[in-house]
Amino acid sequence: MRKQSSAQTFRITGARQGLTEDVRGRQRRYVISMSVRTVAVILTAVLWNVERPVAIITLIAGLVLPYIAVVIANAGRENVTSLPSSFIAAPTRPELTARSGDAPAEPAPEAGQQGSTEHRGDHG
């Protein structure tokens, strides 16, 4: 018979994607962003004497896109803020009860009775 451990168990659907897949995805996003920037710079050069306002917009896009591409590429792996929804909780053990020969424990004071303390004549 297998011994059950108290370690947490996760279903495979809750696992993070692999490191190589994550790096490949970040590289793909970076290359796409830099390709869009290259097109913007080329459009700036072509449209500068033809359509100056559009050329200025593409120039601004060409200046801003490298920063955005680097931030997106360096964003890193996804953050796991909590346990996945497919977490399987370990079964809980039943609470131990007092044996018949033991004295019952005193109940804890309720919220309204915390301010009043009674002294018993136990010290002497």
Show Cβ contacts of residue 70 under 8 Å, excluding neighbours closer than 6 positions.
Answer: 30
Higher pLDDT, 19 or 115: 19
Q: Average pLDDT of the chain?
A: 74
Q: What are phi and psi of 109, to 5 degrees?
A: -65, 145
User: Where are the chain's structural domains?
Assistant: 16-77
For 21-67, what is each residue's pLDDT tens digit?
A: 888 888 898 899 899 999 999 999 999 999 999 999 999 999 999 89
Q: Answer for the pair 71, 34: CB distance below 8 angstroms, yes or no.
A: no
Q: Which residue has the higher pLDDT, 13 or 40?
A: 40
Percent of the chain clearing pLDDT 70 (strictly above): 56
Q: Check pLDDT > 90 for residue 92.
A: no
The pLDDT value recorded for residue 91 is 74
